[in-house]
């Protein structure tokens, strides 16, 4: 990690860097970038930044769209996907008032930094660690067409069960039987290993990678725990590495939550723990599943606000095609130990005090990680501040398979939203906790909701292939 511009300049010289690429994040959590020749990078670049038009990023109105990007040299890494030697870094978006730089409140990176500051100022903890699990599909082929008169989607993975009569080798994976399957069935092994090596080279430690349940080419890469803002940066880079490495192997990667019907969906489960100095805030040998009262209050905050959180953690129409029973995806508002049917799972294998934590299972990687991680922290801190006890509110612990409960028992449970529209309604009604400490600007939330409502309306007007199958001859 670089600590001075001089260190960066020396590194650029030693590695014959010819371009410097600045990566920013738009309201949807997608990278945007602008590049300058390496010879133009200097102390002045870092001090004064790069001016740009933010109106196309979704978080600034046109008449106030002139912004400045200030690079963060601590994030500088060589981009392995550029033929021209390129140093890549992210940073923060600023506004200028009377010659003074101020953080743009709507910039995703500024929001996650503000959430961390709010946590420290609260005295609850001085560090929050998260671990997002990245599930995704790798396809050998993927394409779609949508016109007024034509709709088609085609995806293919060479070892998928639907190729049993065409592949020739017999090395196909039965439906929903891909979990941890070994070679010769795991033909994407080397591609994933290369992804992991690139992550490690870019300072993102990885726990492991493996095949996931979906037999149409589903896999997972899991990094190690990291501080909230750094892991938001890392999440963007992890997706960038996965997509670009897949392309180099002649494949394509998607984080779409439900790209294959009747196969497992892809989530981004988020593990969370708080530290105060060297003391783990969430650990208590006498508590349920060895978690402290603060941990339970944090879970209570998440569960109280989970329906509105879904708008930020599951922000696509497709997200809610994953949140259905039968595919190890959560549908119930509750918590439990080692139970994947509840939205909060406490892993039984996290036994040491500094590793005791829980996992929020509803998020998926279509989210903007800066918004999602900041919102998760704000909901949990609201739970601690207001002493929201999940057990007293009837949210568990549910140490049973919630999918198989009798219907009369299921009727007593609270559930996650079934549509993005429902999550947006919840966010519109319940967002004050996000605005505490001026972390999330209300203008941003209103803008986000309006954009997503427009997205829902557009998709609701388009007939789909299953509708033709069901209704064409009615």
Q: How confident is the model at residue 150 (pLDDT cuts 50, 70, 90)?
A: confident
For 422-451, what is the mean pLDDT? 97
Provide the b/e sequence for 229-242 (b: ≥16 CB within 10 Å): bbbbbbbbbbbbbb
- Using CA atoms, how far residue 259 sits from 71, 144, 316, in Å, is 35, 12, 12
Rounded CA-CA distance 30/27 in Å is 8
Helical spans, DSSP H, in 178-323: 189-201, 228-248, 293-304, 306-313, 319-322
Question: Crossing angle of helices 293-304/306-313, nearest 10°?
Answer: 70
Rounded CA-CA distance 129/158 in Å is 38
Give 69-122 pLDDT, tens digit per residue: 999 999 999 999 999 999 999 999 998 877 788 899 999 999 999 999 999 999
Give 155-172 pLDDT, tens digit per residue: 999 888 888 877 556 778
* Percent with pLDDT over 90 in the chain: 71
Contacts of 286 (CB under 8 A, 6+ apart): none
What was the pLDDT predicted at 402? 66
Question: Quick check: helix, strand or coil at residue 41?
Answer: coil
Give 396-436 pLDDT, tens digit per residue: 888 766 667 677 777 778 999 999 999 999 999 999 999 99
Rounded CA-CA distance 377/115 in Å is 7
Residue 62: pLDDT over 60: no
- Using CA atoms, how far residue 261 sits from 43, 265, 314, 417, in Å, is 52, 9, 18, 20
What was the pLDDT predicted at 290? 92
Q: Which of 37-41, 200-204, 344-348, 417-421 has the lowest mean pLDDT?
A: 344-348
Give 208-257 pLDDT, tens digit per residue: 999 998 888 999 999 999 999 999 999 999 999 999 999 999 999 999 99
The domain defined by 289-469 folds into Creatine Kinase; Chain A, domain 2 (3.30.590)
Give 9-41 pLDDT, tens digit per residue: 999 999 999 999 999 999 999 999 999 999 999
Rounded CA-CA distance 447/450 in Å is 5
Question: Quick check: helix, strand or coil at residue 387?
Answer: coil
Question: Quick check: helix, strand or coil at residue 23?
Answer: strand
What was the pLDDT predicted at 403? 67
Q: Hey, which bits of 304-462 come out as E strands? A: 332-337, 342-346, 358-360
Active-site amino acid positions: 53, 133, 135, 212, 220, 269, 340, 359, 361
Which residues belong to CATH 3.10.20.70 in the chain?
A: 5-104
Rounded CA-CA distance 413/426 in Å is 18
The domain defined by 134-266 folds into Creatine Kinase; Chain A, domain 2 (3.30.590)
Dihedral (C-alpha) 381, 385, 386, 389: value to the nearest 10 degrees? 60
Please check whether the domain covering 5-104 is classified as CATH 3.10.20.70: yes
Secondary structure (DSSP) of 117-147: HHHHHHTS-SEEEEEE-EEEEEESEEEEEE-
Which residues belong to CATH 3.30.590.10 in the chain?
A: 134-266, 289-469
């Amino acid at each position: 990690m670089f600590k001075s511009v001089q260190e960066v300049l020396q590194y650029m010289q030693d590695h014959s860097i010819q371009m410097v690429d600045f990566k920013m994040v738009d309201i949807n959590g997608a990278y945007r970038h602008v590049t300058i020749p390496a010879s133009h990078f200097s102390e002045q670049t870092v001090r004064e930044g790069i001016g740009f038009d933010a109106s196309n990023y979704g978080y600034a109105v046109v008449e106030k769209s002139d912004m400045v990007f200030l690079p963060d040299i601590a994030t500088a890494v060589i981009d392995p996907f550029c033929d021209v030697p390129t140093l890549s870094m992210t940073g923060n978006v600023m506004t200028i008032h009377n010659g003074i730089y101020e953080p743009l409140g709507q910039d995703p990176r500024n929001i996650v930094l503000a959430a961390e500051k709010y946590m420290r100022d609260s005295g609850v903890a001085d560090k929050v660690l998260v671990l997002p699990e990245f599930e995704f599909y790798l396809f050998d082929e993927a394409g779609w067409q949508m016109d007024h008169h034509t709709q088609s989607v085609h995806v293919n993975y060479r070892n998928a069960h639907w190729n049993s009569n065409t592949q020739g080798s017999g090395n196909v994976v039965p439906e929903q039987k891909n979990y941890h399957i070994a070679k010769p069935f795991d033909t994407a092994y080397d591609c994933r290993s290369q992804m992991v090596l690139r992550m490690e080279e870019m300072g993102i430690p990885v726990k492991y990678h493996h095949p996931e349940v979906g037999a149409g080419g589903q896999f997972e890469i899991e990094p190690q725990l990291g501080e909230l803002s750094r892991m938001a940066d890392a999440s963007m880079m992890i997706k960038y590495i996965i997509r670009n490495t897949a392309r180099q192997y002649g494949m394509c990667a998607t984080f779409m939550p439900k790209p294959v019907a009747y196969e497992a969906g892809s989530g981004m489960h988020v593990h969370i723990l708080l530290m105060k100095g060297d003391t783990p805030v969430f650990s208590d040998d006498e508590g349920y599943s060895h978690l402290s009262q603060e941990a339970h209050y944090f879970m209570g905050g998440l569960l109280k606000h989970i329906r509105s959180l879904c708008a930020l953690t599951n922000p696509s129409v497709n997200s809610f095609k994953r949140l259905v029973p039968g595919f190890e995806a959560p549908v119930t508002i509750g918590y439990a130990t080692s139970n994947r049917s509840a939205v909060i799972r406490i892993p039984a294998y996290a036994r040491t005090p500094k590793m005791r934590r829980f996992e929020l299972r509803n998020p998926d990687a279509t989210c903007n990680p800066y918004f999602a991680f900041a919102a998760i922290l704000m909901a949990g801190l609201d739970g601690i501040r207001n002493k929201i006890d999940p057990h007293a509110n009837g949210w568990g612990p549910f140490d049973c398979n919630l999918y198989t409960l009798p219907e009369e028992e299921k009727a007593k449970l609270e559930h996650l939203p079934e549509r993005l529209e429902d999550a947006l309604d919840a966010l519109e009604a319940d967002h004050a906790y996000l605005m505490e400490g001026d972390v999330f600007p209300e203008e941003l939330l209103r803008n986000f909701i309006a954009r997503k409502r427009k997205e829902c309306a557009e998709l609701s007007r388009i007939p789909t292939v299953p509708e033709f199958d069901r209704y064409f001859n009615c």
